[in-house]
Amino acid sequence: MTCHQGRTAGNTVAAAIEGKDLDTAGSSLRFINPHYATAAASWLGGYGGAGYHYEGREYSGLFWHARPVSSCNSCHEPHSLEVDFEPCQTCHQGETPQDIRVSRLSHDGSGNAAVGIAYDIRGNSETLIQMIKDYAESVTGK
């Protein structure tokens, strides 16, 4: 948890933009890098505050997974980080962790609920990076 919580978080963004006009480029603003593999912060969901929280929006907290597999070490071998997939198959189907899906809803706008939830996350991630690029272009021209 200590090593994978990230070196920056949403409050780093809040501090950097405090008192500044929204949607205005400024030379003091830089890419805020949380370092890599911030899994502990992601695991905590909105409670971890890893991402910036917009005012007036609601953010999901921790995803309460089935109790026997709720801690980091119940899925990962702590030193190699390998996921032991066999115990997952007591409750889930599929060949790999990426195939796991419980949700019947599509979360990425594709309408495809036949693939693992990992694909919805990837789809949203692709949409997000495109939106960031479009935003940057329209606000800063770059």
Residues that bind ligand HEC (CB under 6 A): 1, 4, 37, 39-40, 43, 65-66, 68-69, 72, 75-76, 81, 83, 87-88, 90-92, 97, 100-103, 117
As a residue count, the chain comes to 142
CA distances from 15 to 36, 50, 55 (A): 21, 14, 14
Residue pointed to by tokens 């599929």: 94
A 10 A CB-CB count for 94 gives 14
Q: Which CB atom, from 90 or from 138, has the smaller least distance to ligand HEC?
A: 90
Q: Which CB atom, from 1 or from 129, has the smaller least distance to ligand HEC?
A: 1
**How far is 49 from 44, CA to CA, in rounded Å?**
8
What is the identity of the amino acid at 86?
E
At 100, list the tokens.
């796991």
Q: How far is the CB of 120 from ligand HEC (least distance, A)?
A: 8
Q: Which CB atom, from 16 or from 42, has the smaller least distance to ligand HEC?
A: 42
Q: How far is the CB of 43 from ligand HEC (least distance, A)?
A: 4
Q: How far is the CB of 20 from ligand HEC (least distance, A)?
A: 33
**Long-range contact pairs involving 63-72 (C-beta distance under 8 Å, separation at least 24):** 66/91, 72/1, 72/39, 72/40, 72/43
Q: How far is the CB of 108 from ligand HEC (least distance, A)?
A: 12
Q: Which CB atom, from 52 or from 85, has the smaller least distance to ligand HEC?
A: 85
